[in-house]
Structure 1
Amino acid sequence: MAVCRLGLIGYGAIGKAVCTAFAGDDLVKIPAVMARRVRDLGPDGPIVLTEPEQFFQQQFDAVLEVAGHQALRDYGERVLLSGADLVVTSIGAFAADPDLLERLTDAAGRFGRRLIIASAGIGALDILSAAAVGGLDSVRMVVRKDPTAWVGTIAEEKFDLDAMTEPTVLFEGSAREGARLFPQNVNISAAVALAGLGLDKTHLTIIADTTITTHIIEVEAHGVFGSFRFVEDVVPTEDNPKTGKIVAMAVVKTVRQLASPLVIGL
């Protein structure tokens, strides 16, 4: 099977994990990373470029975005126009910019490429999207993280996170509005919404929970197929309490399936 040449936009915790996972890999090669500052990743590592023009001069089969909403807005369409598939992790950007998904989907179609929305930190998207084929009546999602995970978000404007003594609802409404207000924390809600009923019809509740140290995420759906309830309880990363450890693992899985002769859960 042909080697997948993967470009990387962003070199934070997820980017580092992806580079580490595919160091010396036979099926996935990473020629270059676009980041804000130059780094030396060693003689066998990818080159790190800070100039977009230099990055897009490289030849990629796919480009993985792990740099945030603005990076997706700035470079998403250009990736597809360059002839590469685009793997997206900053899915919440589609909530803040309703036209972005349409523009990227259109670009992918015109140039025969794929816009791939990574499952990243949430599971059960396969069964949810399958249920949507027959028809969904409701999709509800609850995201619980301890108060420190909400530091640096809009929640600080209304709540004293340091003084919380009991679980507190920070937000309740549509997945579109929740992903827009909490762009670093609930990209997963946008993924659930796009797999099911859409950003405006998916109900989201966000809770700062003083009783937990993990991230507990629940998805409940009802429709023609019946009903299901999915719950995950994941450990946050040490350097970023907003993100669970499973996110980097899931992104590596998504990238591996771009090149693997065996694909599970498509």
Structure 2
Amino acid sequence: MSGAAGLVISRAIARDLYQGNELTKFFSLLMAVNGVFPILSPIFGGMVLKFTDWKGIFIVLGIIGTILFLATLLYFKETLTIDYSQENDPKVIFTALKSLISDKIFMSYALVQGLVTGAMFCYISGSSFVLQNMFSLSAQGFSLVFAINGIGIVFMSQAAGRLSYRLGEKLLLQIGLSIAVFGSIALFISLFLPKHLLAVTIPLFFIVSMVGMVNPPAFSLAMQNQKKWAGSASAILGLGMNLIGGLLSPLVGIRGNQTYVPMALLILICNIGAFLIFYLYLNRQIPYNSSNGI
């Protein structure tokens, strides 16, 4: 529950402080953090378990939580200006949600972000079974592949922050979605080719790493006009990503752990769906502009 609050509020704070390319750049930094810590956390957890048992993990989490609480209490300042503050009233929250859900452009960006992240959830759910059972990768080998893909997210998210100034958010989003679609097609084609590890891991790298390129501009464009409802908008964007991923993840294993047909098919559907939403609708709504990204 605390993690959910942190994800939503941190994104809303970003919208309070930045806009346009600066918002994309800052969200790219958040994406990099999200990409780094899933790589470092298992390593750190393994180090902790060398000195204590499983109970020690919860003690470490308690210490981290205490540090976060004190840092927020002592050093964090309110970023929401009085002009955009809202009453703490359920009616206001309902009005905000109703306004956002009826905003077709905002919801389209939320779907794009949700589908691309859903494809990554499919990879997370199925990759260990596919790579270890079908391609006989050791636990260390799988960890290496997982780490490389995580580094790909970090690198691409940082690239997105820098390239947004030159290309603009919309063109950057189109490039990221296009590469994700090509990676998904390549992964699906590999089903009909002789079994080879690289035929799976290379497409997966592009599919996963493009999450780092797609999410920052999609988030920035979705939040451009949501200063008033920044918190609710951030919540919907986060809900979309986790809800789609949560619904798709169990489907990855419907044919057992000796095939990656469901994983490849679901990833393909997600990324093609995201690209079609962008190309058929969003592409016609906002003109390209490399100077300000909108």
Normalized against structure 2, the TM-score is what? 0.25
The structure showing larger relative contact order (alpha-carbon pairs under 8 Å, at least 6 residues apart) is 2
Choose between structure 1 and 2: higher strand proportion: 1
